[in-house]
Amino acid sequence: MTTYLDHAATTPMLPAAREAMVEQLAIAGNASSLHGPGRDARRTVEESREQIASALGARPSEIVFTSGGTEADNLAITGSFRSARAADARRTRIVASAVEHHAVLDPVDHAVEHEGAQATFVEPGECGTVQPSAVRAAIETDPTDVAAVSVMWANNEVGTVQDVAAMAGIAHEYGLAFHTDAVQAVGHLPVDFADSGVDLMSVSAHKLGGPIGIGALVARRDARLIALSHGGGQERGIRSGTLDVASIRAFAVALTESVERREAEAARIGALRDRFLTGTQQLDLDIRITGCWEAGDVTTRLPGNAHITIPGCEGDSMLYLLDAAGVAVSTGSACQAGIPQPSHVVLAMGRSEEEARGSLRVSFGASSTEADVETILAALPDAVGRARRASGAA
């Protein structure tokens, strides 16, 4: 039986969400149809939209359903860039943090390569924290040429939580819209769209106990976006396509439950993370904790996030060795075209390429237990020894 410790990648569906989805799958009806079954489907969508909005501190009209976080990020970055540039040709610059998920970084790169954009990437400190003052400095280089500003709420690799409210306030001083990728934050941190002051916020269901393939871009009614898909004009004309009623229903159920139990779960999962990180320091393997960590802290670092670097080890080797031992984790690196690449997040935090390549992310979630912590701690010494021998470091 596998010990699953990769909840930041995807977490198992909550039983209530799974049951709601299965029940809805048995009911026919296109939410855009005008007959009875269509109206029933629409009612389910709108009731779910209200639930989701309530859980996120937003208005129902601000919820735009997407296929997940990646589409929401693409719509926010590309849609707002194109809209700003169409209104003012001088606005060609995108300001984003250097530790964003590739769902943000890649649309920025595409805009630079194909649409005449310029990019300013704000570097973090050694903890992975992006300072609001650094965002201000990036904007003030020339506020008149900025089209979009984006900084993620919580980092997917090292778990650092950013002060997005302060950054959104700075963007607004210059009349700029602010986007945040909150995919890792929702359900694990207190997230209130209205109170945060952000204009656009990306959310994904499968990170909080809902199904894969459904998410949302929370967009203020006055947010200016150019649609990326065209067709039936669903979702305020921002995102056309037949709505996935069953997934939307399950999304609402999962989000509601995860938000209701968030505080207690954050404390429980945070304790597991702390036990694991403390345990790694007692193994005498020279394991280094990435980012800033203080036991009991579930506000400036995601409760379930534990990120480590292991000298003399390739992260990919550690992943496979632990997998063979029945423990599922992930690396902090992306693999492009079969070639392992060092984590851009760890590099941006000032670590060496060797450290970035030796990254390992262990993430705890709803199904995690104390036994899981003991299992991975017991598996680490052998895996580290074998990985170091393979790399010639031992």
Q: Hey, which residues are catalytic here?
A: 335
Phi/psi of residue 302, nearest 5 degrees: -55, 135
d(CA 262, CA 16): 16
94 contacts 118 by C-beta, under 8 angstroms: yes
Tokens of 36: 């009875």
Neighbours of 260 (CB within 10 A): 11
How many separate helices (H) and strands (E) can be counted in the chain? Answer: 13, 14
Nearest to 216 by CA among 178, 243, 189: 243
291 contacts 307 by C-beta, under 8 angstroms: yes
Nearest to 266 by CA among 333, 188, 176, 349: 188
Residue with the two structure tokens 């926010």: 76
199 contacts 168 by C-beta, under 8 angstroms: yes
d(CA 235, CA 225): 12
Task: Spell 357-385 as b/e; 16+ CB within 10 A means b.
Answer: bbbbbbbbbbebeeebbebbbebbeebbe
Q: Across the chain, which distance is largest between two alpha carbons, in Å?
A: 70
- β-pair type (146-150, 118-122): unpaired
21 contacts 247 by C-beta, under 8 angstroms: yes
370 contacts 273 by C-beta, under 8 angstroms: no
d(CA 15, CA 253): 10
215 contacts 69 by C-beta, under 8 angstroms: yes
